[in-house]
């Protein structure tokens, strides 16, 4: 039991959230580099011969230099087993991004020091804060001309509603960036612009240590000392309980592209970040450290290996230990199954898993058995709480160009719906019937088109619709019948549940006023 406890508590499973171009994929690469998972940290953009980012494995990602699907990356560092859930940061990210955050025990929020808190960061932060998980902030690109650190922290409080505690503090910025002062360890890490990976570390007694007078220009040193006094007097006090509850974010400054401050962040993060946490089920809370094996499916990805047209279900292990070939219960299907050859990932690279523990992410070969949200357990038939579901915001009618390809088109749209790339609807009370897809972000239309063509040999037509809201409808049967007969833009989802589609909030509010005995749900879990 002590071995089980040690293995589980050594796990750290976290997601990285950010706005496009904040440097998230670069930070991920540098963390993998420190963990020895890769020999050389690649960057996303640059010359043609630049190494492509390890975490971007899909063809469209490598073509465009962005992440469009969540990757799962695992490595070891100083006795810790680390699982990174690398979420897309681009402007039009999908529901897959939101769901991936449910498999994380903490999150690292990456902020561009020149731009501050941006839209996508705000959206993803809200998902994390709903779960009350610890959030660690890395303020990036300090070796460029950036905004005042106090201004950035004030913006975090105003926009995100979270207070901050700087674990380290920058000395200067841009061309006059001297390095960072670690407030906890009382040491200075000096930045060398000619060779950023060559970090000189000096132990000091505090900001007033005379050693600093020999290392930093007097004007920048004077400003730094004033800022430290202000932090000590007016800044938030250090509070581990608030950090664990997600009410106070530890802040770190650095430059991911220069590999400066990343190791300082990683070592502090591994000390503070929580080990695996449990999950609520319909039969009570399931604790991670116990003999009972359990897990849930949070992501399905088809065709990770185009040559084999495979389909992988990603499972977060919630409790206990997985051993190769074990048999588990699948409560939704009321059947048992053998988990033959689960895999672990470094993006596209995979290896067979012989054992894994609570906190780990493993990939299961999926012949069509799994759905997002499914529970698997070594014994019993409990089920974990439903996965959060987000209403699509953009819609398009979809059809296949070549009728002879209809079968592969249907297979592709069905699999990509199950994967969570799109939500698929069928028009209701309209002839001829029409298929409509809904997405959270518009780039998913492009990804859908690309994948149907390349993976299912199906060219499609997309007709964008002037709709922006989907609501699942339930309530009084008589009023519901009237609603079905009179309301425009009705559809059913893949579970045949009624969905009303609206152009805007004004339309939706009119319907709510007209049908007071109906309930308009933001997701499909209406029961």
Binding residues for GTP: 18-25, 86-90, 140-143
Rounded Cα–Cα distance for residues 422 and 445 (Å): 8
From residue 265, give the alpha-carbon distance in Å to each of 54, 184, 288, 373, 504: 21, 12, 26, 33, 43
DSSP string, 486-503: H-SSEEE-TT--EEEEES
Cis peptide before 150 (omega within 30 of 0): no
From residue 154, give the alpha-carbon distance in Å to each of 37, 130, 150, 162, 210: 36, 21, 6, 9, 31
State whether residue 64 is helix, strand or coil: helix
Rounded Cα–Cα distance for residues 84 and 314 (Å): 13
Rounded Cα–Cα distance for residues 163 and 253 (Å): 16
Contact 84, 77 (CB under 8 A): no
Count CB-CB contacts under 10 A for residue 327: 10
The HSE-up count of residue 241 (CA atoms within 13 Å, CB side) is 0
Rounded to 5 degrees, φ, ψ at 266 are: -60, -45
Contact 417, 423 (CB under 8 A): yes
Contact 17, 93 (CB under 8 A): no
Count CB-CB contacts under 10 A for residue 332: 15
Closest CA to 409 of 449, 368, 456: 456
Rounded Cα–Cα distance for residues 300 and 315 (Å): 9
Phi-psi category of residue 420: left, alpha or beta, with phi > 0 → left and psi -120 to 50 → alpha: left
Q: Looking only at Cα atoms, what is the longest distance across the chain?
A: 82
DSSP string, 151-179: HHHHHIIIII--EEEESEEEES-GGG--E
498 pairs with which residues across the strands?
A: 492
Which parts are annotated binding residues?
Answer: 18-25, 86-90, 140-143
Contact 276, 358 (CB under 8 A): yes
Contact 160, 124 (CB under 8 A): no
Rounded to 5 degrees, φ, ψ at 147 are: -80, 165
């Amino acid at each position: 039991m002590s071995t089980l406890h040690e293995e589980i508590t050594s796990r750290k499973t976290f997601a990285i959230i950010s706005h496009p171009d904040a440097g998230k994929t670069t930070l991920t690469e540098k963390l993998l580099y420190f963990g020895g998972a890769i020999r050389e940290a690649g960057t996303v953009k640059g010359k043609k011969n630049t190494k492509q980012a390890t975490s971007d494995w899909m063809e469209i990602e490598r073509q465009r230099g962005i992440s469009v699907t969540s990757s799962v990356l695992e490595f070891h560092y100083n006795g810790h087993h680390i699982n990174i859930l690398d979420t897309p940061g681009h402007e039009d990210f999908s529901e897959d991004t939101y769901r991936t955050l449910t498999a994380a025990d903490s999150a690292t929020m990456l902020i561009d020091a020149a731009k501050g808190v941006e839209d996508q960061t705000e959206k993803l932060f809200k998902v994390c804060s709903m779960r009350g998980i610890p959030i660690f902030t890395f303020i990036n690109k300090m070796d460029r001309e950036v905004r005042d650190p106090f201004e950035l922290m004030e913006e975090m409080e105003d926009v995100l509603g979270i207070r901050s505690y700087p674990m380290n503090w920058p000395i200067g910025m841009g061309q006059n960036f001297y390095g960072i002062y670690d407030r906890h360890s009382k040491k200075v890490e000096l930045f060398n612009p000619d060779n950023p990976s060559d970090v000189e570390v000096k132990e000091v007694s505090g900001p007033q240590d005379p050693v600093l007078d020999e290392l930093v220009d007097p004007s920048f040193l004077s400003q730094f000392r004033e800022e430290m006094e202000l932090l000590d007097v007016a800044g938030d006090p250090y509070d581990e309980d608030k950090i664990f509850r997600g009410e106070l974010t530890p802040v770190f400054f650095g430059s991911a592209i220069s590999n400066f401050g990343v190791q300082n962040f990683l070592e502090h993060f591994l000390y503070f970040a929580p080990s695996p946490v449990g999950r609520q089920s319909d039969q009570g809370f399931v604790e991670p450290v116990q003999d009972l094996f359990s897990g849930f499916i949070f992501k399905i990805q088809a065709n990770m290996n185009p040559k084999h047209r495979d389909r992988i279900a990603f499972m977060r292990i919630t409790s206990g230990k997985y051993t190769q070939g074990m048999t588990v219960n699948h409560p939704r299907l009321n059947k048992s199954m053998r988990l033959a050859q689960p895999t672990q990932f470094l993006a596209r690279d995979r290896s067979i898993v012989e054992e894994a523990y609570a906190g780990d992410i493993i990939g299961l070969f999926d012949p069509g058995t799994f759905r997002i949200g499914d529970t698997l357990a070594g014994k019993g038939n409990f089920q974990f709480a439903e996965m959060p579901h987000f209403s699509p915001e953009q819609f398009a009618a979809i059809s296949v160009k070549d009728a002879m390809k209809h079968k592969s088109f249907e297979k592709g749209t069905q699999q990509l719906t199950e994967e969570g790339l799109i939500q698929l609807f069928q028009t209701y009370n309209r002839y001829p019937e029409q298929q409509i897809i809904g997405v959270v972000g518009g780039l998913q239309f492009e990804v859908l088109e690309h994948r149907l063509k390349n993976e299912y040999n199906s060219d499609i037509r997309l007709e964008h619709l002037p709709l922006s809201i989907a609501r699942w409808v339930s309530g009084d049967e008589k009023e519901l019948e009237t609603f079905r007969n009179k309301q425009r833009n009705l559809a059913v989802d893949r579970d045949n549940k009624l969905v009303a589609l609206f152009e805007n909030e004004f339309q939706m509010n009119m319907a709510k006023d007209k049908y007071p005995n109906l309930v308009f749900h933001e997701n499909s879990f209406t029961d």
